[in-house]
Amino acid sequence: MQNFSRNKALTYIVGSVFLFGSACTTTKQAVELNELCGSVFDKTLVHDYYFVQDGHATDPMAIPSHDNKIVESKIVSSFSHEIAIGTYATPARFETVWKSVDTWGETTPIKVVVTVDGWHAFSFPSDVPTTRKEDHADGFYDVFANGGAGLRGHINPELVSMIYAVKLRASDDTYQRSLSFYGHGGDLILGLYASEGGKPQNADAIAGFNRSWNVIKAMPRSCKE
C-alpha cells in the first residue's frame, strides 16, 4: 500500500467520507518539457476557440483539451503571457507557490477541480486548502481546508511538471482566475479557481491569486516563445 501511494501525484479526501484516487493512475516517465508546450498550431487553435468563436471566453481549459485531444498543458501554454504565466515545477518552486496560496486566507471560498488522468473531473466548492505545516511525510505536501474537516490534499511535488496561473476575461468584464498544477504527461492534477467569469468575485481570493501570479512571474518561465 505504501508503494502504491508513492506513485500518486495527488490523493484527497472531501470531508471525512469520500476517498478518491489521484490525477495519475501510474507514474509516467517524464517527457521532454517542451513537448508539454503548445505548438504554433495549438496557439492558433486556442486563439480561435477563446477569442474568435462566440461563447467560449471563460471555458475551462479542459473543454478545448478534450474536444481537440490535446493535453491541457498545451492549451494553457498557448495563451499570451498577459493571460497566462507559468513555470516548470520543482519541489522547491511548488512549495513556494503553495505558500502563496496560504495567503489567500483559510476561510476564503474558492472552487477546486481535481482530475483523474485529465479526463474524469471532480469540481466542488471549498475553502482554500492551506499548508498543514506539521506533516509533509514521505515526500507528500499536505494541505487541508476547514481545519481538516473539508478537503484534505496529499500532493507529491516530484510528480508536478508545470504550474500555471490564468486569468480569462468574461463579456461582463469579470474574470475567471485559476491556478493549475500539471503532471508529467501534461494533464491537469489540481486547479484552484479564485473566481469564475460572470459570477460574484471574492476580493480576498482575487488579492491572493494576484500574489500567486506575481510569485510565478518571478520564476523562470516555462514554454518560452
Count CB neighbours of 50 within 10 A.
20
pLDDT score at 20: 29
Averaged pLDDT score across all residues of the chain? 85
pLDDT tier at 135, thresholds 50, 70, 90: low
pLDDT tier at 115, thresholds 50, 70, 90: confident
Which CATH entry fits the domain spanning 2-217: 3.30.565.10, 1.10.10.10, 3.50.40.10, 3.40.1570.10?
3.40.1570.10
pLDDT score at 117: 73
pLDDT exceeds cutoff 50 at 191: yes
CA distances, 125 to each of 24, 33, 94, 110, 167 (Å): 22, 32, 23, 6, 19
pLDDT exceeds cutoff 50 at 22: no
pLDDT exceeds cutoff 80 at 171: yes
pLDDT score at 179: 98
90-112 confidence digits (pLDDT tens): 999 999 999 999 999 999 999 99
Bridge partner list, 144: 130, 152
Contacts of residues 50-56 at CB distance under 8 Å and 24 or more positions apart, as own/partner, are 50/79, 50/168
pLDDT exceeds cutoff 90 at 140: no
pLDDT exceeds cutoff 70 at 164: yes
| φ, ψ (nearest 5 deg) of residue 133 | -65, -25
Given a contact cutoff of 8 angstroms between Cβ atoms, the answer to whether 167 and 139 are in contact is no
pLDDT score at 3: 39
Helices H / strands E in the chain, number of each: 6, 11
Given a contact cutoff of 8 angstroms between Cβ atoms, the answer to whether 192 and 12 are in contact is no
pLDDT tier at 224, thresholds 50, 70, 90: confident
Cα separation, 194 vs 111, in Å, equals: 7
Bridge partner list, 122: 114
In percent, the amount of the chain with pLDDT more than 90 equals 65
30-51 confidence digits (pLDDT tens): 346 788 999 999 999 999 999 9
pLDDT exceeds cutoff 90 at 219: yes
Query: What's the pTM?
Result: 0.86
Lowest-confidence segment of 1-10, 122-131, 160-169 by average pLDDT: 1-10
